[in-house]
A = this chain, B = another copy of it.
């Protein structure tokens, strides 16, 4: 794969990680898998690692890029059909009323259902190629509010190094995100050096019609959030992950299902963001269960490839 940076066997395979116990723990797990005499040994067939995406592999503030993409699409829909503005979620978008999205964030079933229905409708009938092209155009045209870069340039340099190191040690790395599977697949190779089939996420159903794959409005599988993460991972890989990494409360079950859990703590307001919203449960679980926690401020010598 072109985009993949092969690790050299000499030199530091994780140059963006600060020397210390967190880096040591990560190196032990990744490299220990090779050593049959190590308690960290993992048979090759079981070396499955799972990474959340938003806030784990790239920045998710001020809002995940995919949420931005989805809401833009719904705003287009209501512009094309003003009658939609009478119902949620279009009503909330048209009036700027934040209560509806607060209810979505709180996992209110009616609000989540209305949002998913609108998203399903937005692309119903689009071919896979059409959807991919729309996503590609979006990444080309949009820039991050604070950093001014493309959203694909918000991938964390230390995580890209970690993925490459895992590949060098025979791990199969999967992204497992609550975000849209097909949205992420468009940028998976360039961003993470991962083939499309390594991306697991939420997705509508697709139908094979007239020789092509077409999106339909229904969504039969659960969202890849909370218990949905280990469920999707089992469905796709036939096992629970040996290594898992996340940063949000929706990652707790995936982390708990793994042998080694790594949590990203966003405590770096200068280089990235400092926040614990949506992460209080996972940070508590990390303390209670002894999961390894990365302080972005302390444990990463650079966050983005352009730092320093």
Contact = CB atoms under 8 A, between A and B. Distances in A.
Interface in A177-204: 181-182, 185, 189, 195-197, 199, 203
A45 interface: yes
Contacts of A211: 256-257
A1 interface: yes
A231 interface: yes
A254 to B, nearest CB: 9
Given A195-B172, A256-B211, A189 B238 contact: no
Contact of A208 (B172, B239, B253): B253
Interface residues of A, number: 40
Contacts of A44: 1-2
A299 B213 CA distance: 34
A274 interface: no
Contacts of A228: 208
A195 B45 contact: yes
A128 interface: yes
Contact of A257 (B208, B236, B240): B208
A68 to B, nearest CB: 22
Given A44-B1, A45-B189, A208-B227, A196 B235 contact: no
Interface of A: 1-2, 44-45, 48, 128, 172, 181-182, 185, 189, 195-197, 199, 203, 205-209, 211, 213, 220-221, 227-231, 234-240, 253, 256-257
